[in-house]
Amino acid sequence: MKKEAVDALGCKAGLIYVDATLGGGGHSKLILEKIQPKGRLIAFDVDKDAIDAAKEKLKGYDNLTIVQDSYTNITEVLQDLKIDKITGGIIFDLGASYHQLTQAQRGFSFSQNAPLDMRFNKDADFSAYNVVNSYSEKDLIRIFSEYGQERFSKRIAKKIVEQRKVKPIETTGELADLIIECTPRIKSSIHPATRVFQAIRIEVNQELTNVKNTLEKVFHLLGDGAIISVISFHSLEDRIVKNLFREYSQKCRCPKNQMICTCKPPMLEVITKKPIVASEKEVKENPPSRSAKLRIAGRVLARE
């Protein structure tokens, strides 16, 4: 839904836009094409490999600033760049990028054997290896259940703890084989390890916490009429976006027993009452898009 997400921003020359998740640079390229010659784009990514690839794709655009940092630090970064408000809009494409998922050595996928890694930021100390080999059985059950919605969380966690007493689990292949071994065979188009790998990736990168905290920062950084466009691939991410959009768009947030409303005006107007999903054509061309959901909102009042 690259086109839909960027079109929602209503890009105009002369305004400031942010791509919070640069990845391969696809969204940034579309934005830059629309805001020439006087618009400005700030793009974030913690992944140096992704930045290097995106720089090649986006070379020649003078009004682009690429920042190797997490979008969680957006307030501080924009302050350093002397930017008070995002006047045009911001886009988030949550989760792992195509660039990360297709690099076997990054350990995001079980399709090829690689060290257990899954870090968005390769300079970070904490990786999937730490989760798998140091978390208690109770904590493993929790993240597999909450973040992966894995129905066999208990038996997988138990097997992991048993196995690492003998030898640490070091590769994606070892973990995937262990999951296959300890779960029943059921008819499904999804590999048995998919949900567990997703849960570990979310834990390693603190994705849900980062999304919630950052969105709340961003609402205050948007200028009047600026648009926020968010693509999520996980139901928990989508729920966070949905709930925050709803909360910040409500006219009254007072307790039910309070007689007179004392709320400030709502910050947002929700543009998508229901999320936009990929078309059948896009799903055929890009199967991962089947789980994507796009939500859009606009800043209605930049007064605190």
Structural tokens at position 168 = 């640490």
Classify domain 106-205 at the CATH topology level: DNA polymerase; domain 1 (1.10.150)
SS3 83: coil
Rounded-to-integer distance, Cα 217 and Cα 240, Å: 14
H-helix or E-strand spanning residue 266? none
Phi first, then psi, for residue 176 (nearest 5°) are: -65, -40
The confidence score (pLDDT) of residue 102 equals 60
Q: Nearest-CA neighbor of 241 among 277, 198, 274? A: 274
Class of residue 52 by CB neighbours under 10 A (exposed 0-12, middle 13-18, buried 19+)? exposed
Per-residue tokens: 120: 């968005």
Task: Count other Cβ atoms within 10 Å, centred on residue 79.
Answer: 11
Around 16, how many Cα atoms within 13 Å sit in the side-chain half-sphere?
15
Instruction: Pinpoint the residues of the chain covered by CATH 3.40.50.150.
Output: 2-100+207-299
What is the model's pLDDT at position 99?
A: 58
| pLDDT values of the chain reduced to their tens digit, one per residue, 304 residues | 789 999 999 999 999 999 999 998 999 999 999 999 999 999 999 988 889 999 999 998 999 999 999 999 999 999 999 999 999 999 999 976 655 666 666 767 778 889 999 998 888 899 999 999 999 999 999 999 999 999 999 999 999 999 999 999 999 999 999 999 999 988 777 889 999 999 999 999 999 999 999 999 999 999 999 999 999 998 999 999 999 999 999 888 777 888 888 888 899 999 999 999 988 888 888 777 888 999 999 999 655 4
With beta carbons less than 8 A apart as the criterion, state whether 242 and 251 touch: no
Please state whether the peptide bond connecting residue 275 to the residue before it is cis, i.e. omega within 30 degrees of 0.
Answer: no
What number of H helices and E strands is found in the chain?
A: 13, 8
Domain with CATH 1.10.150.170 in the chain: 106-205
Specify the DSSP class assigned to residue 191: -
Query: What CATH number is given for 2-100+207-299 in this structure?
Result: 3.40.50.150
Q: Which residues pair with 90 in a beta bridge?
A: 18, 228
Residues in the chain: 304
Give the model's pLDDT for residue 98. Answer: 59
C-alpha to C-alpha distance for 150 and 243, rounded to whole angstroms:
23
